Amino acid sequence: MNTRGSRFHRGYAMTAREEAARGLSEIEGFLYQEAHMGATYRRVADLTTRVEGLTPEQQRDIGKWYVDEQRHVARMVTDHIAERLDAMESRHQARIRHWLRGTLIAMVLVTLAMSAVVVVILESSR
């Protein structure tokens, strides 16, 4: 949906390209999570079959604990990555604002200098 036909505020409207990129990112995250969880289930199954004397209930308990622990660790890692990305984005935005401010000041100074040159030329031609 384009931003002209949107009933939402400009900051909330997404272009089709942004929506597609977001969708691809979500699909990639889902596939990564599924692959990670598949590996988790394989590791715990391998572990519980190698340990002798475990009852099926104990194997399920160990499996549930291990999977829950892996989800918790994955959530912590995801939160850490999100925090780092937010920090990097805010630093980047600060650098851009600083650069834009410097560029604006330079453009104002150039404009003033050009105006002064034009005034001097016009005054000298009289």
Banded pLDDT at 10 (limits 50, 70, 90): low
Is the entire prediction scored with pTM above 0.85? Answer: no
Separation between Cα atoms, residue 86 and residue 94, nearest integer Å: 12
pLDDT value of position 106: 98
* Alpha helices (H) in 1-55, listed in sequence order: 16-50
Q: Over pLDDT 90: what percentage of the chain?
A: 40
Sign of the CA dihedral with 96 first, then 14, 24, and 71 last: positive
Q: List all residues 6 or more positions away from 28 whose beta carbon is below 8 Å from its beta carbon.
A: none
pLDDT value of position 6: 47
pLDDT tens string 12-66: 556 777 777 777 778 877 787 788 788 888 888 898 888 889 898 999 999 899 8
Q: What angle do CA 12, 79, 88 make, to 5 degrees?
A: 65
Banded pLDDT at 3 (limits 50, 70, 90): very low
